[in-house]
């Protein structure tokens, strides 16, 4: 297999490889994983839970954006500093600047990976296994766990 095919992100994802990004901050090193569409659906369900049945129009846009950032980080975080692991959720972190920095970098990572998927040369002509079993999400456990450092 050529070096270029080995690096094809779509093929790697379809073979079950977890695509990750390391984020270094002044508060420590974090590693996030690319969510699949089913993970994004679960994130949006968590955002809805945080709104407790109220319509989105009842909240300021910034508040809903924060809900989405917390739910996303709780889902995509696969490695984090010990102090983060002690939190139940990203929502428990009082450092808003840190949360927004990590979330902004997650969005950049997600967009860049989607761009690479769009440019993929994979045409379905190699042996590809199932992406993940039904009960698996971004990492190794179900979404019922939080991403505050546990491998999800």
Q: What pLDDT score does 75 carry? A: 97
Domain membership of residue 13 (yes or no) is yes
Q: How many domains does the chain have?
A: 1
Domain membership of residue 125 (yes or no) is no
Angle at CA of residue 135, ends 11 and 145, nearest 5°? 110
Contact between residue 152 and residue 75 where contact means Cβ atoms under 8 Å apart: yes
pLDDT band at 139 (very low <50, low <70, confident <90, very high): low
Q: What pLDDT score does 121 carry? A: 85
Judged against a pLDDT cut of 90, whether residue 144 lies above it is answered with no
- Report residue 116 as tokens: 């690479």
pLDDT band at 76 (very low <50, low <70, confident <90, very high): very high
- Which of 128, 109, 106, 115 is CA-nearest to residue 5? 128
Judged against a pLDDT cut of 50, whether residue 78 lies above it is answered with yes
Q: Once rounded to an integer, what is the mean pLDDT over residues 128-137?
A: 51
Domain membership of residue 135 (yes or no) is no
Judged against a pLDDT cut of 70, whether residue 25 lies above it is answered with yes
Domain membership of residue 103 (yes or no) is yes
Domain membership of residue 126 (yes or no) is no
CA distance 55 to 69: 18
The boundaries of the domain holding residue 114 are: 3-118
- Report residue 15 as tokens: 């073979």
């Amino acid at each position: 297999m050529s070096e270029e095919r080995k690096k094809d992100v779509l093929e790697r994802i379809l073979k079950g490889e977890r695509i990750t990004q390391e984020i270094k901050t002044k508060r420590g090193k974090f590693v996030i994983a690319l969510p699949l569409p089913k993970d994004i659906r679960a994130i949006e369900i968590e955002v809805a839970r945080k709104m407790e049945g109220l319509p989105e129009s009842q909240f300021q846009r910034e508040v809903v954006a924060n809900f989405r950032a917390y739910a996303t980080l709780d889902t995509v975080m696969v490695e984090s500093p010990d102090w983060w692991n002690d939190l139940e959720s990203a929502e428990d972190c009082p450092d808003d600047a840190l949360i927004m920095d990590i979330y902004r970098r997650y969005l950049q990572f997600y967009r860049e990976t989607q761009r690479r998927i769009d440019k993929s040369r994979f045409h379905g002509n190699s042996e590809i296994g199932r992406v993940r079993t039904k009960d698996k999400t971004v990492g190794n456990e179900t979404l019922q766990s939080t991403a505050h450092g546990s491998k999800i």
